[in-house]
Structure formats: C-alpha cells, structure tokens
Amino acid sequence: MKYSYKIDSIKALKEISQMTKEALTNTLNKVEIFPHTGCYLNEASLRALQISNVNNWRGLINGLFVQIYGNHLKYMSVKGSRGNISIDKKIMMGIYKLAKSIDTNLQWETFQDCVGKLCSNKRRKGTQKEEKNKKINQIIIDTATTITEPIVHNPEVSHPPQLLPPKKRKIQNQRSEQYHQNKMVSG
C-alpha cells in the first residue's frame, strides 16, 4: 500500500483551511479546549467527548480531531509529509495539553504517533470503502446482464419483487398463488 496520498481536488484543501480557521476562532457557543491554547470547539461537543472519555486520552484525541476535521483527516498528517496537509500546530498543542491533563506521563512523541495513526487509519479505511464500492458495483453490473426474464410483480403480495433465478422465481410464484388461494378458501 502506498503511503503517499494525493489530494483529489483543491476543494479539500479549502475546506481544511476553513475548518482550521473555525477551530481557531472564538464565538458565543464555543469554549477553549484547554486554557490559553487559542483552540476552540463547540461547548456541548467538548463536554460530551470529555465525559465519554474520562480516563481515555486516546479516545479523546480521536474524538477531538474527528470533531474538528471530520473525514478530511485522510488528507492530513502530523508534519505534512508525503503529499499530505499538516495539522495546524495550535490545534495540535491545544489537544496535546488537554490529553496531558488526563495522563501526565504522555510524551509529545507518543501523542504524535497516535495522531499519525489516526490519519493513516482514515486513509486506509477510505481506500477500503472505495474498493468495496467498486466490487459491489461490478457485482450489480454482472447480475444485471445475466437476468434474461422480466421481473414479475404481483400487486397482491406486499413484499417487493426479488431478483431470483428463473426456476426459483417460478416456484416462488406458485407458492404465492397457493397461499392466496388457501387464504381465500379459509377466509
């Protein structure tokens, strides 16, 4: 797997810079992540993350970065190497100080490794989803070209029509007819 990840468009870069500006600007409903860091987040989101990750600094780090950058983490890295965009230093320091308040033994290198893994996991999961979608689309195309008979839909039956091989469809239609005949006789 290649670790260099090319940005698909300029749009992602613009959105990331906009997200960084939002995280570094204070508004009425935002609070500072950690005192004197200059990094702000929605108060309700921050409190929810802190409550759900009381002693888990890794979970808190992951939650904060996902809250700030979302799916754009796949375009980012700690230092901006290998064709990726670097994460803003103020945001990194703010989140690091908050995580350090949970675990006083947390080292900067460990924190950077955790953030790097988070970004690379987002890249890997993104490519896995793309590959899975390609396989699903190929299967849909293959099944669409192999069906030769039209799909028969009986309006009396409440379930939607199903794509079945011709023999199974015939058997299913016979069973459905028998069911309705028995229902009419008994009812």
Q: What is the CATH number of the domain that holds 79?
A: 1.10.10.2590
Q: What is the per-residue pLDDT for 180?
A: 76
User: Do 154 and 67 fall into the same domain?
Assistant: no
User: Do 50 and 93 fall into the same domain?
Assistant: yes
Q: What is the per-residue pLDDT for 2?
A: 44
Which range marks the domain in which residue 39 is found?
Answer: 10-132
User: Do 127 and 157 fall into the same domain?
Assistant: no
> For the segment 90-133, what is each residue's pLDDT rounded down to a tens digit?
888 888 988 888 888 888 899 888 888 888 777 666 555 555 66
As a whole number of Å, the CA-based R_g of the chain is 27
User: Do 108 and 173 fall into the same domain?
Assistant: no
User: Do 163 and 126 fall into the same domain?
Assistant: no
Q: How many structural domains does the chain have?
A: 2
User: Do 123 and 160 fall into the same domain?
Assistant: no
Q: What is the per-residue pLDDT for 159?
A: 56
Q: Is residue 3 part of a domain?
A: no
Q: Is 85 helix (H, G, I), strand (E, B) or coil?
A: strand
Q: What is the per-residue pLDDT for 153?
A: 56
Cβ contact 95:61 at 8 Å = yes
- Strands (DSSP E) contained in 4-56 are 30-32, 40-42
Cβ contact 7:13 at 8 Å = yes
pTM: 0.56
User: Do 95 and 170 fall into the same domain?
Assistant: no
- Strands (DSSP E) contained in 107-166 are none
Q: What is the per-residue pLDDT for 146?
A: 53
Q: Is residue 4 part of a domain?
A: no
Q: What is the per-residue pLDDT for 140?
A: 56
User: Do 106 and 20 fall into the same domain?
Assistant: yes
Q: What is the per-residue pLDDT for 134?
A: 60
Q: HSE on the CB side for 176, CA within 13 Å?
A: 16
- List Cβ neighbours of 96 (8 Å cut-off, separation of 6 or more): 106, 108, 111
User: Do 54 and 100 fall into the same domain?
Assistant: yes
User: Do 24 and 55 fall into the same domain?
Assistant: yes
Q: Is residue 5 part of a domain?
A: no
Residue 124: phi and psi, rounded to 5, are -65, -45
Q: What is the per-residue pLDDT for 1?
A: 40
Q: Is residue 49 part of a domain?
A: yes
User: Do 42 and 128 fall into the same domain?
Assistant: yes
Backbone CA torsion sign across 93, 98, 104, 109 = negative
Q: Which residues does the chain have with pLDDT short of 50?
A: 1-5, 7, 9
Q: Is residue 137 part of a domain?
A: no
User: Do 112 and 176 fall into the same domain?
Assistant: no
Cβ contact 157:169 at 8 Å = no
